[in-house]
Amino acid sequence: MYNTMHGSYTKDTNFFKSTTPFDLINEYGSPIYVYNEDVFRQRCKDIKHLVTYDNFVPHYSIKANTNIHLLKIAREEGLHADTMSPGEIFMALKSGFTSEELFYIPNNATKEDFEYAISHNVLTSVDSVEQLELYCSLNPNSKVAVRFNPGVGAGHHNKVVTAGKKTKFGVNMDEFEAVNQIIEKHNMTLVGINQHIGSLFMHSEAFIESTTCLLEFAKRFDSLEFIDLGGGFGIPYKKQDGEAPIDLEDLGKEMDKLFKGFANTYGRNIQFQIEPGRYVACESGIILGQITGTKKNADTMYIGTDIGFNVLARPMMYGSHHDIELYTNDIEYDATISPYTVVGNICESGDILATDRMLPKPKYGDLIGIMDAGAYGFAMSTSYNQRPRCAEVLIKSSGEVQQIRRKETFEDLIALMQ
């Protein structure tokens, strides 16, 4: 048995089922990424059943978490997959997705990138007029999609707002004629148009506004087989402060209305797609690590952990908030809370997981849990400071724990230099 000194998400959701944070760390090392299959499947189902419109094909944007075991589950749940690079196409195919179930949406692709997708029969979306010319010259008499910029963006940080005037993404809608000319010149069919406005919106307004705009624009093309509205569906990172989840039911209803209205005017039940990454993977994953101690420097109290920005980059990169839980083996502990800056073990002052977080005082040997780390967590981790990348385990619906990626070793660190 163990006690949770702070936080209740893993207790409330029975996240660990019959195992415990201490058992997991003892068995697989620290730190460690832990996923819960039930939560992951549920999020896939939420997305799969978002609307009632019958020609709806949601894609999981696999860059959020590319573990092959999770990809297999997403496919079992009926999702297709979005890929951003040849490596992601490779991983998706390895995990069982067929070429027809993949969509390739690269940014600043090279000829070699496009050729990889072409040779694997993966439909591609291009991101600029020049890229369209390049792609069409490599693969004439075929099908292509174009990513347009609807002029409306959204997101949790300006680094992840991917539409509107201040981003490198998408073809401007006023380049319609140039797009058409290239399509005709190479005898192509423009089968799809797509957008992706940014990452992590919690309210539907910007999404509905940009979608309305894209649909209006879509009427100018008569060859479309699908319209892809992108990802960005948010999750509540501040659950401990009572943050509510995005209202998917309401969003689904609004989307249904737009889809049905468009199908009526367009004259056929065109396919609609979305591409959520974070929503599918985020809440199914947490990171467990060890407390290495506490200390006071000037007026700041620090909690030390073995979770540096090599393990979780988001707080350092975007200033992101992740809820924190603390676990102890002690039967009794002091529950008094005070403000702490929670830091990792990397040799940089920016290596901060959380600032001014109200927590009880842990001690060496207690454990920390970082919530909502299933998306852009392991996928963005590195071996900086020669810390081997950590293991990933899956707590299956049956309760069984399966290691889905082993911890890297020192030998792995040197393997490619030999």
Ligand X SMILES: *Cc1c(COP(=O)(O)O)cnc(C)c1O
Q: How far is CA 376 from CA 34, 67, 107, 139, 263, in A?
A: 14, 12, 18, 33, 35
322 scored as a contact of ligand X (CB under 6 A): no
Which position among 43, 75, 239, 278 is part of the footprint of ligand X (CB under 6 A)? Answer: 278
Q: Applying CB under 6 A, does 277 fall inside the site for ligand X?
A: yes
**Helices and strands (DSSP H and E) totals, the chain:** 13, 19
- Kindly indicate which of the ranges 259-267, 273-281, 296-304, 335-343 contains the residues binding ligand X, using the contact rule CB under 6 A: 273-281
Residue 352 buriedness (CB in 10 A; 0-12 / 13-18 / 19+):
middle
Q: Indicate whether 230 belongs to the interface with ligand X (CB under 6 A).
A: yes
Alpha carbon distance, N-terminus to C-terminus of the chain? 45
Query: Of 22 and 233, which CB lies nearer to ligand X in the complex structure?
Result: 233
Task: Report which of 247, 264, 255 is spatially closest to residue 230, judged by C-alpha positions.
Answer: 255
Residue 170 is a binding residue for ligand X (CB under 6 A) = no
For position 63 contacting ligand X by CB under 6 A, the verdict is: yes
Would you say 136 and 156 are in contact if contact means Cβ atoms under 8 Å apart?
no
Closer to ligand X at the Cβ: 138 or 202?
202
Query: What is the rounded CA–CA span in Å between residue 253 and residue 243?
Result: 22
- Cβ burial of 286 (10 Å; 0-12, 13-18, 19+) is buried
Span near ligand X by CB under 6 A; candidates 70-78, 108-116, 226-234, 285-293: 226-234
Pick the binder of ligand X from 150, 231, 308, 374 (CB under 6 A). 231
Closer by beta carbon to ligand X, 214 or else 368: 214
| Nearer CB in complex with ligand X: 147/239 | 147
Closest CB to ligand X among residues 150, 230: 230
Query: Which of 376, 389, 386, 300 lies closest to 343 in space, CA to CA?
Result: 300
- Using the contact rule CB under 6 A, the part of the chain among 114-122, 207-215, 228-236, 344-352 near ligand X is 228-236
Three state DSSP letters for 122-162: CEEEECCHHHHHHHHHHCCCCEEEEEEECCCCCCCCHHHEC
Cα-to-chain-centroid distance, residue 71 = 12
- The yes-or-no answer on residue 347 being catalytic is yes
Residue 156 interacts with ligand X (CB under 6 A): yes or no? no
Identify the bridge partners of residue 145 per DSSP, sorted by sequence position: 125, 192
Residue 235 binds ligand X (CB under 6 A):
no
**Choice from 150, 232, 315, 369 touching ligand X (CB under 6 A):** 232
Tell me the closest approach of the beta carbon of residue 179 to ligand X, in angstroms. 18
Size of the site for ligand X (CB under 6 A): 19
Task: For residue 198, give the DSSP letter.
Answer: B
From the list 77, 275, 323, 325, which residue makes contact with ligand X (rule: CB under 6 A)?
Answer: 275
Residue among 44, 136, 347, 390 flagged as catalytic: 347
Strands (E), 248-399: 271-274, 285-297, 300-305, 324-328, 337-343, 352-360, 367-370, 391-395
CA torsion through residues 43, 47, 50, 52, sign? negative
Task: Tell me the β-bridge partners of 297.
Answer: 300
Is 61 one of the binding residues for ligand X (CB under 6 A)? yes
Considering the complex, state which of residue 53 and residue 233 has its C-beta at the smaller distance from ligand X. Answer: 233
> How far lies 184's CA from each of 144, 187, 189, in Å?
12, 5, 8
Residues 78-117 binding ligand X (CB under 6 A) are 82, 84, 105
**Using CA atoms, how far apart are residues 47 and 27, in angstroms rounded to an integer?**
34
Binding of ligand X by 64 (CB under 6 A): yes
Pick the stretch among 138-146, 274-282, 303-311, 379-387 that binds ligand X (CB under 6 A): 274-282
User: Of the ranges 35-43, 112-120, 229-237, 390-398, which one interacts with ligand X (CB under 6 A)?
Assistant: 229-237
Kindly state whether residue 377 participates in binding ligand X, applying the rule CB under 6 A.
no
Pick between residue 224 and residue 368 the one whose CB is nearest to ligand X.
224
The answer to whether residue 374 forms part of the interface with ligand X (CB under 6 A) is: no
Q: Considering only residues 196 through 215, tell me which ones interact with ligand X, judged by CB under 6 A.
A: 196, 199-200
Where helices occur in 20-145 by DSSP H, the ranges are: 21-28, 37-48, 68-76, 86-94, 111-119, 129-138
* Element at 206 (helix H, strand E): helix 205-218
Ranges within 237-256 binding ligand X (CB under 6 A): none
Please give the residue ranges that form the binding site for ligand X (CB under 6 A).
Answer: 61, 63-64, 82, 84, 105, 196, 199-200, 230-233, 275-279, 375
Catalytic residues: 347
